[in-house]
Chains A and B, each alone.
Chain A
Amino acid sequence: MRINNSNSIDSSKVIKFYFNGKIYTAFEGDTIASSLISNGIFFTSRSIKYHRPRGVYSHSFEEPNSLFEVNSDETYEPNVLSTRENIYEGMKIKTINSWPSLNYDFFSFLTLLSNFLKAGFYYKTFFGSNYLWKNFFEPFLRKMAGFSKAPNKIDKFKYSKKHIKCDVLIVGCGPSGIAAALSLYKSNLKILMVDDDSSPGIKLNEPNEKEWFINTKKELGDKVEIYTNTTVFGAYADNYLTAVERINEKNNRNKLKTRLLLIRAKKVIFANGSIERPIVFPNNDRPGIFLSHSSTYYLNKFGVLLGKKFILFTNNDFAYADILNLQKNGSEIIAVIDVRQNLDGYLPKLAEAKGIKILKGFVISNTFGKKKIKSISVTSLANNRSYNLSCDCLLVSGGFSPSIHLHSQQGGDISYNHDICGFIPDKFINHQICIGSLVGKNSFIDCVESGINGGNYILNEFGFKGYLKPDLSEFKAIKYGKVIPFWAVDTNAKLESKSFVDLQNDTTIADIKVANLEGFRNPEHVKRYTLNGFGTDQGKTSGIISLGIISKEINQPIEKLKPTTYRSPFIPVTFGVLAGRQIRELSDPIRRTALNKCHEKLSAVFENVGQWKRPWFYPKVNEKIDQAIFRECLSVRNSVGILDASTLGKIMISGKDSLTLLNKVYTNNFSNLGIGKIKYGLLLKEDGMVFDDGTTTKLSENRYLMTTTTSNAALVLDWLEEWLQTEWTNLDVFLTSVTDHWAVITVSGPKSRHVISKLNPSISLDSEDFPFMSYRQVNLAGIACRVFRISFTGELSYEINIPWPNATYIWNKLLDAGSEYNITPYGTETMHVLRAEKGYPIIGQDTDGTINPIELGMGKLLSNKKDFLGKRSLSREFKSDKYFVGFKTIDPNLIIPEGAQIISLDRVLNNDKENLDNLLINGSLESEGYITSSYFSPILDHSIALGFLNSGKEKINTDEIFYATGDNNELIRTKIVSPVFYDEKGLRKDG
């Protein structure tokens, strides 16, 4: 019921919304919860396990009950928490977990079976048959669990991220947080404040307190940056805090939904207050039962009253402020049920003076009202006498539990505080302090003082002098009576099954007792066994209560128990905002070479290689992949081809110890490499396995250019840096990644020399002046280039390094120059085929981190004159005899699948029907090897494959038949040959 219009809502803007198909109105600024309540809707939901009627229970992130599905089109949202989400025009709110309707729910009979569905019942049954579990029980349990349906459409909302650095982050803009800011704001420190609510301070009732709050905020002005509607949900090492900001629908032109704030603060002040907790009693879950402080919130913020006839159940004085506030606004207060016998605090006295009936030493022993609370039973603790009282709203307060979550997330210590009956931060984490009700302060004045002092302390930490000592004498220090620890009302076994500790998971006192009986006594075990605290509210209200109940059950004081660990996030955070804009094509950066446009113009099909997009092949019109590769391969072998090799990793190595580094990491010796010369080398990991390969060129004294494979470029650089920075710190070496400083064009084929010379006829390119494995600084078409004579195809080749911006120019020049030879751009696939014909392994394709140089047939690259990384491992006892070999199929047209396993049979297969499945009938088969690369070789007109074979070296060129596993379980016959299929003498590299 709405009684007035508070300034948090805009009563000129009426909003129509739907709840379970029916239309209602609310005002702009309302939450779903306040909209429902203002329309008199209290029964909003069904509980997950027993399908009991439930309603809104609280006002913020602690809400356990009222989760909804919103809308059904592409703006659909699952598990929307009514207390946190603003209402908007046309919003369609739907109850979850009820069928066919909220009012008549089929599964509500489950509540009758609660005796058989106690905590952990599913561990004790359903395991008679794997078949039934898989096809019946598990699917049924799964169907019953879970809240909303998952969305089935692409998310149209936008999210973003913002990185913020500040001197001081104040979490919480209540009185203590604002007071801390007051101490700090005159310094030139960068201060950031965040508050979860849209109107912090809204729960203040006293006029002078409200006034102080508003004036102070005004005074702070723009000296502090305040983010409201923003929740800090994670606290990580070194004051890295993560928050999520809900963007106001109203002025949201970009359709931004939420924004992730990633905050690095020099100092953090936690002023994020406390959360009211309930007391548990029989049937404490009916619609119309609320946390006490929520009544103040709904009234002050939305002008909404939670009922007409109120009863309050409490163990503390603070809740009296709520009931007095309600009385002031014309509500009828039926009674206050206070578990305490002696009330000496100021507020209960004031309440009594205002004519409010207080039942001292009483508890609630039951409640009534099927879909909304109608009346309650109260029982005297002294004489057990009971009677009934009617009401339409029952407020409950069991005291306040400090929000220690963020402090605890970082492993911060906590201790039990008897004054507030709750856990508070104990030792603060470095560069952080906690203030206000978070550390157990109760009154407004205490909180403000705690904030001022905290602010002064931080000021001091930054080296500022001069403290703020404001005059706060106008605020009277209220005397509060003692809170007594009271978690749950004692009752009989039957009603224990109706006394809900965790409203969301329907965990009752009976469940916790059964758990205890079954030996689950550690709070972590109880949580896992009963699911208490596992809900979307993460036990914000139920955690401490279950601890209280456990403490009683196992007869140990609560301060001896440890609450279950708090973890990020403090509130649920959408995946969408965590990803921010790093989705789709931005989910991982795309790297393109300088020649990308040229490739697109040639209709290249691209392949992902690491983050790079590389041309895979260049199909002509109507050409299939195989045909394109056939054509590309033969062009290189017979005339000339051109390849974009820019993605190869390139590392500049300079400094006087460069050579020392090379000799430490490469297996072979680089000492005798002359200037302008190139050497191939292998890099091993400590375990002696090949990690990467490439060439290194000596550019000048103490300057080398190392190349790596495309995929390992960053890894190799990291690897070298790691050694330099951690083990070889005395070496004078600098590493610079120049991968994208130099574009690389490889011109390969017998006609390549002719093509290059057209770009600069004055240079001599013949093999005497410019021999294989050497490098020249050459001017090509007016551009200073580096040309390397290395070959990955076996043909005469020139690798031209061109300054990145000039790459397209040179590419086009080369295409022009080569047109008379039909110069053919070729992609990675052709490159793979050509190198396979030559038996060159690709690190990462033919090797997998478990291959050493000897197995790879490169034993001769292991220097015995020097030490190198991985050498020691190679001297270990175990030597495998697997060896890198070539496979030539008996049928030249059958291509073995890459990844095929090789088996050897003690007989020759009779026919093709003898496939793998048939062989396996008699038991498993031993693998003798596997295929790493496999192609059809156009120049050889034969299928070829590379791979590893046990005792491979001895099998080369024997007649022995091996069998490779085919994609359809067929077995492909093959012989073993040298991996060098073509030009075994290596004559073609000089053209």
Chain B
Amino acid sequence: MKKFSALSILTEGLSGNKGWKPHWQSVDPKSQYEVVIIGGGGHGLATAYYLAKNHNITNVAVLEKNWIGSGNTGRNTTIVRSNYLLNESSRLYEHSLKLWEGLSKELNYNVMFSQRGVLNLAHSLQEIRDSKRRVFANKLNKIDAEWLDSNSVKKYCKIINTSKDSRYPILGATLQRRAGTARHDAVAWGFARAASNLGVDICENCEVTGLQIEKNKIVSINTTKGNINTKKIGIVVAGHGSVLARMAGIKLPLETHTLQALVSEPIKPILDCVVMSNAVHVYVSQSDKGELVIGAGIDSTNSYQQRGNFSIISGQMGSLLELFPIFSKLKMLRTWGGIVDVSPDASPIIGETPVKGVFFNGGWGTGGFKATPGSGWVFAHTIANNFPHKLADPFSLNRFYKGKLIDEHGAAAVAH
């Protein structure tokens, strides 16, 4: 692997930029692997990387039906935070956040993790209660969390409208200063490069079309690039979790929806933090390129189309302009949708399945990007040891049978 640094840019620049190497080797799959990861999104690639890095398992393939990062990894609004309410969630996401803090160096790839702070606004007395409960819970878990009243919100984010006579006035917000955003593509590419460098095969344009199960054990995988024998697979396909699980005869409690987002035309820096308002369904930050990145509420119909309905986009604009009246003349440049799998308690499902050798990691719904390194870390551990990592354990599939739900969404009502 060619090490990236200012020096490499300099020497390559001087010699005509002819010596750059592919960041990852995109190869056709071999006929046998120790572990096969299905899904070349951030989570799948991170899993492969940590399998190789932490567990020394390098006979691994990542199968991606399109190009890596083509799923939700390359479509999300990139909010990274760990200030979740419930212990199970906040500990998992905090583990992930700690990994984010060293990720660029770890991968020798600038994933542009930008700890610019995330505000979660409260617009009603109930939201104040919920927010404070979350802040207090975070404090007990030693996760940085602050409650700001509306004046302090205004101080932290000068352009926000805290006027008392707005439709749903901002009454306060929680702030996590260590939270922020990252460059989504770079996360996929950086993990792919690092994994590829450790010997992992990255197979693009390779769609899994069937899973062969014998005696309740995985034996091989059918793909558009041939069959692969393996004893262990990790399914990490975001919006297609139920599709893949069904190939193994497993029915998962997942609902699939379209989630849309949009960007504005690039403008000079105006918004230095991330603002999330659950009550009015607006999530906004400004990318390093200058675009406002705005997330919408979920499309209510079930769908596998990466396209949503216009009413979701136009419907949120009034709310956005309530928060930021000065954005009215900015222009929407691009909208898109991703497919998200939502579990009954809106928390992910990580771990073993009823079929031996089939491991599942999905159901991250609208908010799994922030978990990318942490999810890969605990999933790799689970696959390598045939035993759930302790942070992943509460998220196992059997929680739905046992009834030990982790209803973060119900409790904290914060998406993304």
Contacts and interface: CB of A to CB of B under 8 A. Distances in A.
B332 A575 contact: yes
Contacts of A930: 133, 136-137
20 contacts: A116-B9, A123-B4, A128-B105, A138-B288, A141-B288, A146-B269, A150-B330, A157-B329, A517-B21, A536-B265, A567-B335, A572-B332, A576-B329, A578-B313, A580-B318, A584-B167, A609-B124, A898-B133, A920-B142, A924-B142
A146 B266 contact: yes
B58 to A, nearest CB: 20
A900 B132 contact: yes
Given A116-B13, A584-B167, A877-B402, 17 more contacts: A115-B17, A127-B108, A145-B288, A150-B327, A151-B326, A154-B326, A262-B310, A410-B307, A565-B336, A575-B320, A579-B320, A844-B126, A877-B401, A897-B132, A899-B129, A903-B140, A930-B137
Nearest to B130: A899
Nearest to A409: B307
B63 to A, nearest CB: 16
B330 A574 contact: yes
A607 interface: yes
A835 to B, nearest CB: 15
B168 A147 contact: no
B124 A155 contact: no
B318 A924 contact: no
Given A411-B305, A579-B328, A583-B321, A130 B101 contact: yes
A822 interface: no
Interface stretch (A180-188, A236-244, A743-751): A236-244
Contact of B410 (A130, A607, A609, A850): A850
A437 interface: no
Interface string A916-958: 1000100111110011100000000000000000000000000
Given A126-B110, A138-B114, A514-B17, A687 B344 contact: yes
B28 interface: no
A241 to B, nearest CB: 9
B8 A124 contact: yes
Interface stretch (A57-65, A352-360, A519-527, A765-773): A519-527
A141 B183 CA distance: 13
B290 interface: yes
A157 B399 CA distance: 54
B317 A578 contact: yes
A807 interface: no
Interface in A108-157: 115-116, 118, 121-128, 130, 133-134, 138-139, 141-143, 145-155, 157
Nearest to A921: B142
Contacts of B226: none
B166 interface: yes
Contacts of B327: 150-151, 575
A410 B124 CA distance: 39
B270 interface: yes
A8 interface: no
A737 interface: no
B333 A588 contact: no
Contact of A124 (B9, B26, B67, B328): B9
Contacts, number: 322
A79 interface: yes
A582 B336 contact: no
A579 B314 contact: yes
Nearest to A134: B115
A857 interface: no
Contacts of A608: 123-124, 168
B308 to A, nearest CB: 9
B157 interface: no
A104 interface: no
Interface string B269-299: 1100000000010000010111000000000
B140 A77 contact: no
Interface residues of B, number: 113
Interface of B: 4-6, 8-10, 13-14, 16-18, 20-26, 66-67, 69-70, 74, 87, 101, 104-105, 108-110, 112, 114-116, 123-126, 128-137, 139-142, 147, 159, 166-168, 183, 185-186, 189-190, 204, 264-270, 280, 286, 288-290, 305, 307, 309-310, 313-315, 317-322, 325-336, 344-345, 399, 401-405, 407, 409-411, 413
Interface string A248-291: 00000000000010100000000000000000000000000000
Q: Which 10 A-B pairs have the closest CB atoms?
A: A146-B290, A849-B410, A519-B22, A876-B403, A899-B132, A155-B328, A899-B133, A572-B331, A127-B104, A587-B318
A574 B9 contact: no
Contacts of A881: none
A873 B332 CA distance: 45
A149 B318 contact: no
A152 B402 contact: no
B267 A150 contact: yes
B5 A125 contact: yes
Contact of B329 (A151, A514, A518): A151
Contacts of B166: 584
A803 interface: no
Interface string A879-915: 1000000000000000001111101000000000000
Interface of A: 76-79, 115-116, 118, 121-128, 130, 133-134, 138-139, 141-143, 145-155, 157, 234, 236-237, 240, 242, 260, 262, 409-411, 493, 510, 514, 517-522, 524-525, 528-529, 531, 534, 536, 538, 565, 567-569, 572-576, 578-580, 582-588, 590, 607-609, 686-689, 844-845, 848-850, 873, 876-879, 897-901, 903, 916, 920, 923-927, 930-932, 965, 967
A647 to B, nearest CB: 14
B25 A77 contact: no
Contacts of B402: 876-878
B79 to A, nearest CB: 16
Given A122-B110, A930-B136, A848 B264 contact: no
Given A130-B101, A150-B270, A525-B67, A878 B129 contact: no
* Most chain B C-beta atoms within 10 Å of own C-beta, residue among A76, A125, A128, A932: A125
A640 to B, nearest CB: 26
A522 B23 CA distance: 13
Contact of B401 (A585, A876, A967): A876
Given A242-B310, A574-B329, A587 B322 contact: yes
Contacts of B129: 845, 898-899, 932
B306 to A, nearest CB: 8
Question: Taking each of B70, B310, B313, which has the highest tally of chain A beta carbons within 10 Å of its own beta carbon?
Answer: B310
Nearest to B4: A124
B335 A125 contact: no
Contacts of A123: 4, 109-110, 183, 186, 189-190
A474 to B, nearest CB: 44
B345 A687 contact: yes
B225 to A, nearest CB: 15
Contacts of A849: 407, 409-411
A925 B310 contact: no
A115 B25 CA distance: 25
A845 B331 contact: no
B245 to A, nearest CB: 20
Contacts of B266: 145-147, 536
B319 A538 contact: no
Contact of A150 (B105, B126, B268, B314): B268
Contacts of A576: 321, 328-329
Contacts of A584: 166-167, 322
Contact of A927 (B87, B104, B204, B269): B87
A432 B190 CA distance: 43
